[in-house]
Amino acid sequence: MKTILLVEDSETIALGLKYALQQERYNVTVAKCVSEAKGKIDNSQIDLAILDVSLPDGNGLELCKYIKEKQDLPIIFLTAKDEENDIIAGLDLGADDYITKPFRVRELISRISTVMRRYNKTEGNNNSDVIKIGNIQLNMQNAQVTKDGKEIVFTSLEYKILLLLFSNPNKIITRDMILDKVWDIAGNFVNDNTLTVYIKRIREKLDDNDGEIIKTVRGMGYKISTN
Residue range 3-119, CATH number: 3.40.50.2300
Instruction: Specify whether the backbone of 53 is left (phi greater than 0), alpha (psi in -120 to 50) or beta.
Output: alpha
Question: For 57-112, what is each residue's pLDDT tens digit?
Answer: 988 999 999 998 888 889 999 877 666 677 778 888 888 888 887 788 888 888 88
CA separation for the pair 62, 192 (Å, rounded): 26
What pTM was computed for the model?
0.58
Question: For 173-221, what is each residue's pLDDT tens digit?
Answer: 998 888 877 764 434 445 677 888 899 999 999 998 888 899 999 888 9
Decide if 3-119 and 127-224 have a common fold.
no
Per domain, the residue ranges of the chain are 3-119, 127-224
Q: Spelled out in words, what is the top-level CATH class assigned to the domain 127-224?
A: mainly alpha
